[in-house]
């Protein structure tokens, strides 16, 4: 990505310049193959993987840059919702004028309907190196069991 070539420090609003900037941004997104995310920024890599084994269901979400205090997980009526919101802190001591500022806000929101085999009473969540891992136990009565032939 290139930095803007024109920096307008005046407080005068120029509708033609704003339109040109919006057009340039749209073209840049189109030709770079990026899609617009919910938060209005370019594509943000927040991928989610869901897998299972005989005893558990695992949900892994990429949440780079989020702190555990910014992540909220809810489980209600077999619906798992992961949300995270990051707002940049306002540093009073910052020096210099911003030329480009894209990291001030990001948001993540995903919901999943879980199968009835999941036990909603036992859920474990960990955020490690930007990856949120949620482990959900399956109900004992729904786990496969081996039956011996008599």
15-25 per-position pLDDT tens digit: 777 777 777 77
Query: What would you report as the CA-atom Rg of the chain, rounded to the nearest whole angstrom?
Result: 22
Among 23, 5, 9, which residue's Cα sits nearest to residue 96? Answer: 9
CA 132 to chain centre: 10
What does the pLDDT look like over 45-75, one tens digit per residue? 578 999 999 889 999 999 988 999 999 999 9
pTM comes to 0.61
Q: What whole-number distance in Å separates Cα of residue 39 and Cα of residue 86?
A: 11
């Amino acid at each position: 990505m290139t930095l803007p070539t024109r920096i307008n420090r005046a407080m005068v609003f120029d509708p033609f310049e704003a339109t040109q900037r919006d057009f340039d941004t749209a073209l840049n997104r189109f030709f770079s193959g990026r899609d617009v995310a919910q938060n209005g920024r370019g594509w943000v890599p927040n991928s989610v993987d869901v897998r299972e084994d005989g005893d558990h269901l695992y949900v892994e979400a990429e949440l780079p840059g989020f702190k555990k205090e910014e992540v909220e997980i809810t489980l209600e009526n077999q619906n798992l919702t992961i949300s995270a919101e990051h707002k940049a802190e306002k540093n009073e001591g910052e020096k210099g004028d911003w030329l480009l500022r894209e990291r001030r806000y990001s948001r993540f929101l995903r919901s999943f309907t879980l199968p009835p085999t999941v036990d909603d009473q036992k859920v474990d969540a960990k955020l490690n190196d930007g990856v949120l891992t949620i482990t959900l136990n399956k109900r004992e009565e729904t786990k496969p069991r081996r039956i011996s032939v008599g």
